[in-house]
Structure 1
Amino acid sequence: MNAILFALLAITPLVAGHGYLASITVDGATYEGNTPSSNSVSSVIRMIDDIDPVKGADNQYLACGQNAQKAAKVASANPGSSVSFKWVNSAGGNWIHEVGPLMTYMASCGSGGCTSFDHSNAEWFKIEESGLRSDGTWAMADLAAGKSATITLPSNIKSGEYLIRHELLALHTAQALGGAEFYPACAQLSVGGSKTGTPDGTVSLPGAYSDTDPGILVDVYDLSGSYQFPGPAVSNLAGNTARDVVESAAVNSTAAQLPRRMSRVMRSVNFAQ
């Protein structure tokens, strides 16, 4: 197979891989979302109007996705609840991209509640991040295998209504400035209980990232050292500020070696979209 054909096959999933958050599950209760611009379901997920990725760290849609709209409902949760995110491609099948981290943020909707809250004013804190694993695969690969991404809410989080923001950061074209693809989505939660924990720091989105951050402008097919997650450290509320990083020198699996062999071909293709 010649290099040009190999490169074309490598980028074939780019368009089909664009997609959206189809549903969330909170402690076993599933809440369906809308296909972009359909508005056919009264949902807890803020509906976007375009399956394309958000491009650029200063993009106004970085918070909750392309022109995301307030949702009509909130999902019931509690401190320590399990929340799963089901992502699909544009045709409703499995997510396609396999390379990149997953990150989860939350933001209080304040006393007025989430159904009327403007996410451009949100003060975000990170509760989870997962990236490159010891076998050389990325957390995003689970979505391509048809699995959901599951996180646990902080066990001491104060009661109230929150946006929960799940973000996929696809890095297959991130070796060029502006090549990283952000796929953020937001859902609305009402957290019960009597806990009083609050975050020790918050960030704005956009604002927390730069296009030149080492976790955003990065050649993952020739990664040297640890992958560095963009944005803030995991919040004190999550009980663990350690980042899920793996030294690439310790990765010896075939899964890690293949992307490095691909790097010369991938870098030779113009990925501008």
Structure 2
Amino acid sequence: MAFSNFLPSIVLPALLSAVGVQAHGIASALVIDSTFYNGYNPSYQWVNPPPTVVGWSVPDDLQNTFISPDKFSTPDMVCHLGAKPAGAAAPVRGGDVIEVQWTPWPASHKGPVLDYLAKCDGPCETADKTKLKFFKIGESGWVDQASDLWAANVLTNNNNSWLVRIPEDIAPGNYVLRHEIIALHAAANPNGAQSYPFCYNLAIDSTGTANPDGIPATALYKASDPGIKFDLFSHPTAYVIPGPALYSGALPVSQTKPAAITATATGIYAYTVAAHARAAHVATAAAAASTTLVSRPKAASPILPRATPAL
């Protein structure tokens, strides 16, 4: 195997450690209907050629940083620093549940989790991110005041994963899923909130006809919004989730812990699809088939390339 096509796992961890990419976590992959889809990984910058994935690339984010409120009006707010469209799209049906997988997220970084969709004018692989208009399909903020449990903590507790359901009534087509955590641990300070948006291309198959209105990501929030300028440690009694109102056709989903993932001797990950991984409208036979043991490419670690069989 040519070195240009594969960097040994002993090299990539050292490279990524040097740039500190595990500091906060990244949205690294999707699981849809028992199929695993790689997102973007900073290690791909040392792989030639880089793999084609469904996650938008973030080549400028070597320090795994964030978008601060003074940058909310810039194109970086769309899908992160210098984000570029993904080269592929993950197929999904209206009503299906998508599992967004993260690398470890620190418990101290409390805050809301938000999900948006934007329909592309043509393939999302060639979309102009500044022209995408997003509508909100999911939001969760302060889940339990008594225990100070936030949506980001739920994500951490659930094997660093988050579930989002695709609305059933939207028209079929190519969409960008914008998935975001806003960390509030420094949000009492001016421009202290930290936005971590990540994007994925979706090809949505649906019988719906709705084309919801959206707004550019650069207009989603303002630095003065009560859900952005927020003192997490001042004994607040309420929290206002930032951004536009939730789309009327948005579908709720229970944030339950996904099935455990175990590595096999061959370096392939095997898992059993949890009951929540399919929408309720899926036919019984198809749902039964989805609970069988399947394999997916190894990508749970943010610092390792996809497993390759020994030559």
- Whether TM-score is above 0.5 comes out as yes
Amino acid at match of 1:104: D
Task: Assess if the C-alpha contact under 8 Å between 1:103 and 1:130 holds in 2.
Answer: yes
Deviations 1:127-156 (A, max 9, x none): 000111124200101333333100111111
1:104 paired residue number: 115
Deviations 1:3-22 (A, max 9, x none): xxxxxxxxxxx985323211
Counterpart-to-counterpart distance in 2, 1:174 and 1:220: 7
Task: Assess if the C-alpha contact under 8 Å between 1:44 and 1:75 holds in 2.
Answer: yes
Counterpart-to-counterpart distance in 2, 1:64 and 1:95: 18
Q: Aligned-residue CA RMSD in angstroms? A: 1.9
2:232 paired residue number: 220
2:130 paired residue number: 120
Task: Assess if the C-alpha contact under 8 Å between 2:166 and 2:251 holds in 1.
Answer: no
2:216 paired residue number: 204
1:178 paired residue number: 191
2:141 paired residue number: 131
1:246 paired residue number: none
Task: Assess if the C-alpha contact under 8 Å between 1:20 and 1:36 holds in 2.
Answer: no
> Is 1:21 aligned with 2:36?
no
Amino acid at match of 2:40: N
Counterpart-to-counterpart distance in 1, 2:123 and 2:22: 36
Q: How far 1:100 sits from its partner (Å)?
A: 0.2
> Is 1:83 aligned with 2:98?
yes
Amino acid at match of 1:234: L
1:189 paired residue number: 202
1:143 to 155, 169, 181: 155
Task: Assess if the C-alpha contact under 8 Å between 1:126 and 1:234 holds in 2.
Answer: yes
Question: Secondary structure at 2:125's aligned position in 1?
Answer: helix
Counterpart-to-counterpart distance in 2, 1:25 and 1:113: 21
Counterpart-to-counterpart distance in 1, 2:143 and 2:73: 28
Which stretch shows the higher mean deviation, 177-186 or 55-64?
55-64
Amino acid at match of 1:27: D
1:160 paired residue number: 173
Amino acid at match of 2:56: R
Amino acid at match of 2:118: A
1:30 paired residue number: 36
Change over 3 Å in CA distance of 1:82–1:239 after alignment to 2: closer
Runs of 4+ in 1 over 6 A off after TM superposition: none
For structure 1, the residue ranges without an aligned partner over 5 or more in a row are 1-13, 89-93, 241-273
Deviations 1:9-43 (A, max 9, x none): xxxxx985323211011222111123226253210
Question: Secondary structure at 1:115's aligned position in 2?
Answer: helix
Counterpart-to-counterpart distance in 1, 2:169 and 2:28: 28
Deviations 1:190-242 (A, max 9, x none): 0113211221x3111111211111000000122433211111010122168xx
Counterpart-to-counterpart distance in 2, 1:237 and 1:198: 11
2:298 paired residue number: none
Change over 3 Å in CA distance of 1:16–1:187 after alignment to 2: closer
Deviations 1:90-136 (A, max 9, x none): xxxx11144000000000012x2111111111011000001111242
Amino acid at match of 1:28: S
Counterpart-to-counterpart distance in 2, 1:78 and 1:16: 32
Task: Assess if the C-alpha contact under 8 Å between 2:39 and 2:200 holds in 1.
Answer: no
Change over 3 Å in CA distance of 1:15–1:172 after alignment to 2: farther
Change over 3 Å in CA distance of 1:148–1:239 after alignment to 2: closer
Identity of aligned residues (%): 30
Q: How far 1:67 sits from its partner (Å)?
A: 0.7
1:270 paired residue number: none
Q: How far 1:58 sits from its partner (Å)?
A: 2.1
Question: Secondary structure at 1:187's aligned position in 2?
Answer: strand
Counterpart-to-counterpart distance in 2, 1:232 and 1:223: 26
